[in-house]
Amino acid sequence: MATPETHELAVNPNEHKLERSKLINVRCLKEAFGLFGVQEGDRIETRDLVILTATVEEELKAVKQECESARDYDAAAKVRDRLRNIQEEFLSIQLQDQAKDQADERRKFEDAKRKISRGLDSANRDAYAELEALCDTRLAHLQHAHDVQRANLESYIENMHRPRVRYSKGLLDLMHSEKHLRNFDQFEDAKAVDRIIAKRRPKEVAHHERQIQHKISVLRRKLAERQEFELVKLREKLHDLKLRHERNHERRLDMTQVRMQLHFKDMSNRHMTVGQKPERFCAVRGGRVRPVVKKRAGYRDTDATFRGTQLLRSVQGDAIKDVVSLCQIHKFGQGDAPYEDR
């Protein structure tokens, strides 16, 4: 059988000797606590509150018995009325302390919410800066590759083999005729043919050169078109990466906002439920107390009452983790820790 969970008392009532005559004149339970050295405004743990209240009740009962023995019935009636109101005052004090704890949890929740918002914005700026640097790097690499391709093409053009001029059949016939006329000593006719050749040859040489330049221009144009296509595709891809980054960031913000709203609603509902029925404790010997209903394992790490503390603890440090869903908090199947998004 498991041992009941117990807590040490922060304020030990045995360290303070009560003057029972003063208990008759106290107006409220907190004034009685002052006899134990508890100052106004001190926060008292619930387990300590149980011990102090039980001690005051025991002392008041002893005072009532003394008054009865002394036949001081007026004082006994006053102590009796005080005993009747002690439990109500105890619950009132417990609810007040509980309200303060809940206010602290809401404050911690708001602090965590602001830190998460700032962390997500900072992470988005850093991620976008890295994406911009990646885009610039990829564009620079492509530009460098294009420069190398253009340099290689110009080197190829400069060193490529130039084909010889291929004259037309008519010009070749004239050249053969001029040769035969020269061989047969028909120089007058050969001179006339040579003048015709001199007029036609430059035109065909120029045409041949234009064909070579056209081929070179086609090579340059095709390279430029291919490079332009690669540049456009890369820019489209990088633009798509930026849009995807923005969509993911917006989706992450929306999901975080929804989860924060659900967590706050869960915490508020839990606070309302707890406030309607305060926790009950049993006093145990030796200045120790235990709850009437034992808390489950991991209660403070998963219960919605402490959602502000849990959320604030999850955002400590530089890295801001995603806010987990309500169901993820209670998944411990494979060593998952609360508020650790998988």
User: pLDDT category, 170, cuts 50, 70, 90?
Assistant: confident
Cβ(341)–Cβ(324) under 8 Å?
A: yes
Q: CA-to-CA distance for 239 and 247, rounded, in angstroms?
A: 12
Q: CA-to-CA distance for 64 and 80, rounded, in angstroms?
A: 7
In sequence order, the 6+-apart residues with CB closer than 8 A to the CB of 312 are: 108, 109, 111, 112, 115
pLDDT at 118: 87
Whole-angstrom CA distances from 159 to 156, 162, 210, 244 are 5, 9, 18, 47
Tokens of 141: 């690499």
290 versus 296: the higher-pLDDT residue is 296
pLDDT at 135: 94
Q: Is the dihedral of CA 299, 303, 306, 311 positive or negative?
A: positive
**Mean pLDDT across the stretch 262-287?**
76
By mean pLDDT, which of 11-25, 202-216, 301-315 is the weakest?
A: 11-25
pLDDT at 305: 84
pLDDT at 228: 96
Q: CA-to-CA distance for 270 and 65, rounded, in angstroms?
A: 43
pLDDT at 149: 94
Tokens of 338: 């609360």
In sequence order, the 6+-apart residues with CB closer than 8 A to the CB of 34 are: 40
Place of tokens 């041949």: 208
Q: CA-to-CA distance for 161 and 187, rounded, in angstroms?
A: 38
Number of H helices, E strands in the chain: 8, 3
**Mean pLDDT across the stretch 225-254?**
94
Residue 193, CB half-sphere, CA atoms under 13 Å: how many? 18
pLDDT at 236: 96
206 versus 149: the higher-pLDDT residue is 149
Percent of the chain topping pLDDT 90:
20
pLDDT at 331: 61
Average pLDDT in the chain: 77
Q: Phi and psi for 97 in degrees, rounded to 5?
A: -65, -40
Q: CA-to-CA distance for 29 and 40, rounded, in angstroms?
A: 12
Beta bridge mates, 8:
288
**Mean pLDDT across the stretch 67-94?**
78
pLDDT at 210: 85
Q: Is the dihedral of CA 52, 53, 57, 63 positive or negative?
A: positive
Cβ(72)–Cβ(21) under 8 Å?
A: no
Q: Phi and psi for 284 in degrees, rounded to 5?
A: -125, 155
pTM: 0.62
Percent of the chain topping pLDDT 70:
76
pLDDT at 133: 95
Q: Which span out of 15-19, 138-142, 269-273 was modeled with the highest average pLDDT?
A: 138-142
By mean pLDDT, which of 88-92, 266-270, 306-310, 338-342 is the weakest?
A: 338-342
Tokens of 156: 């190829």
